[in-house]
């Protein structure tokens, strides 16, 4: 099944590349990029920087006991992890998060993976709620119903995980699921303001992407917001393009269609946005990588088996999130 998913991911990305190479569309991408002036690019870059800081606050809040005030170490973890997620194919960059937490703070891989899973669920809930609020043409009653459903699910899931259960006494698979449920329940207890940081991060991040997309089209900020949300919602799909290429653009272009933006134009501006997002994350991650991990001398380097374990666990978590 994993081989099929990866083959489809490669096919999606190759499809985008083939589309770019036809009819000089790559040259048209440069014309699209020149529509954004320096002031807009600077403000968007500042918005991305603020988003990185808000994500760091979420991690710092979650692991405050282990971090012991080392905010800079949490910032390094967030920036490196974000860069890895954006460039490593098949969401393999997610494995960087638990490994960096282990290296910097000595946090066990199961707890780090469970926390990452909860972070991704929070992200999905907030993006879906924001999408329901700003989606063009949706009846206000349906918007309210969709937001209420997301809020109810987000409220219920942690309480279900924390409820007493006897799964450990069942079969081997049930016992393993019980351990995962316990780890997930534990991860929902630590952050005091996790939802605040998550909502603030996505508000800032989507506003920055919407502003850039609106400048590239050009169109109103509301149209840009719809495209940005479509791109981010595409990240929840079970099939992802290599480093997100293909699915990201398709999600944005599809969300722009109701606003009268042709599919070809939507794909072009979405690719320009995607390249700016990746350039920002890679630049920030490279700068963070230059600074050594604060606990590098005390923590041993991760063994290959740890890397494989973290990669498998995060891949499983991504599959579960995609099923939501």
Taking the C-alpha atoms of residue 38 and residue 44, their distance in angstroms, rounded to an integer, is 10
User: Rounded mean pLDDT of 180-196?
Assistant: 80
Q: Give the CA distances from residue 233 to residues 123, 213, 257, in Å, rounded to whole numbers and listed in that order.
A: 10, 16, 15
Collect all residues with Cβ–Cβ distance below 8 Å to 31 and sequence separation of at least 6: none
- List the domain boundaries for the chain: 2-322
Percent of the chain with pLDDT over 90: 42
The residue ranking higher by pLDDT, 66 or 7, is 66
* Per-residue exposure over 219-244, b if at least 16 CB sit within 10 Å of its own CB, e if not: beeebbbbbbbbbbbbbbeebbbbbb
Cβ proximity of 112 and 101 under 8 Å: yes
Confidence label for 60 from pLDDT (cuts 50, 70 and 90): very high
Range with lowest mean pLDDT among 59-63, 229-233, 303-307 = 303-307
Range with lowest mean pLDDT among 50-59, 150-159, 185-194, 274-283 = 185-194
User: pLDDT tens for residues 142-183?
Assistant: 999 999 999 999 999 888 888 877 776 667 777 777 777 777
Q: Which two tokens stand for residue 261?
A: 């933006």
Closest CA to 109 of 57, 187, 31, 32: 187
- Per-residue pLDDT, 199: 94
Collect all residues with Cβ–Cβ distance below 8 Å to 54 and sequence separation of at least 6: 197, 200, 201, 204
Judged by phi (left if over 0) then psi (alpha if -120 to 50, else beta), residue 165 lies in beta
Can you spell out the DSSP letters for 210-259?
A: HHHHHHHTT--HHHHHHHHHHHHHHTTSSS--GGGTTHHHHHHHHHHGGG
Taking the C-alpha atoms of residue 250 and residue 29, their distance in angstroms, rounded to an integer, is 16
Is the pTM higher than 0.75? The answer reads yes
- Per-residue pLDDT, 311: 52
Percent helix, strand, coil in the chain (nearest 5)? 80, 0, 20
Count of CB atoms situated within 10 Å of the CB of 160: 11
- Per-residue pLDDT, 240: 72
Cβ neighbourhood burial of 45 (10 Å; 0-12, 13-18, 19+):
middle
DSSP for residue 167: G
User: Rounded mean pLDDT of 58-75?
Assistant: 91
User: Rounded mean pLDDT of 251-280?
Assistant: 91
Cβ proximity of 103 and 293 under 8 Å: yes
Confidence label for 184 from pLDDT (cuts 50, 70 and 90): confident
DSSP for residue 194: H
Collect all residues with Cβ–Cβ distance below 8 Å to 310 and sequence separation of at least 6: 95, 98, 99, 109, 112, 113, 302
Return mean pLDDT, the chain: 83
Can you tell me whether residue 118 is helix, strand or coil?
helix
Above 70 in pLDDT, residue 313? no
Closest CA to 120 of 144, 90, 94: 94
Above 70 in pLDDT, residue 294? no
Taking the C-alpha atoms of residue 254 and residue 249, their distance in angstroms, rounded to an integer, is 8
User: Rounded mean pLDDT of 131-140?
Assistant: 82
The residue ranking higher by pLDDT, 169 or 71, is 71
DSSP for residue 293: P
Closest CA to 206 of 48, 83, 9, 10: 48
- Per-residue pLDDT, 302: 45
């Amino acid at each position: 099944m994993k081989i099929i998913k990866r083959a489809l991911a490669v096919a999606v990305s190759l499809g985008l590349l083939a589309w770019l190479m036809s009819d000089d569309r790559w040259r048209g991408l440069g014309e699209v990029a020149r529509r954004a002036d320096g002031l807009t690019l600077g403000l968007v870059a500042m918005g991305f920087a603020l988003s990185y800081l808000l994500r760091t606050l979420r991690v710092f809040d979650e692991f405050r006991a282990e971090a012991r005030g080392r905010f800079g170490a949490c910032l390094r973890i967030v920036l490196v992890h974000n860069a890895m997620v954006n460039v490593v194919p098949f969401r393999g960059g997610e494995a960087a998060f638990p490994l960096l937490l282990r290296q910097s703070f000595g946090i066990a891989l199961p707890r780090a993976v469970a926390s990452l899973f909860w972070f991704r669920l929070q992200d999905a809930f907030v993006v879906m709620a924001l999408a329901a609020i700003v989606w063009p043409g949706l009846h206000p009653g349906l918007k309210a119903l969709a937001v209420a459903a997301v809020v109810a699910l987000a409220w219920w899931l942690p309480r279900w995980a924390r409820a007493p259960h006897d799964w450990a006494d069942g079969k081997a698979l049930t016992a393993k699921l019980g351990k995962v449920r316990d780890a997930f329940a534990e991860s929902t207890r630590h952050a005091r303001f996790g939802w605040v940081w998550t909502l603030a991060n996505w508000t800032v991040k989507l506003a920055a992407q919407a502003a850039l997309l609106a400048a590239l089209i050009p169109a109103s900020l509301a149209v840009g917001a719809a495209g940005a949300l479509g791109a981010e919602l595409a990240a929840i799909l079970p099939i992802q393009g290599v480093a997100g290429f293909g699915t990201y653009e398709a999600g944005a272009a599809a969300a722009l269609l109701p606003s009268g933006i042709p599919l070809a134009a939507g794909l072009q501006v979405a690719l320009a946005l995607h390249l700016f997002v990746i350039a920002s994350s890679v630049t920030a991650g490279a700068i963070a990588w230059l600074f050594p991990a604060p606990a590098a001398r005390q923590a041993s380097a991760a063994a290959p088996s740890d890397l494989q374990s973290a990669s498998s666990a995060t891949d499983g978590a991504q599959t579960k999130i995609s099923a939501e």
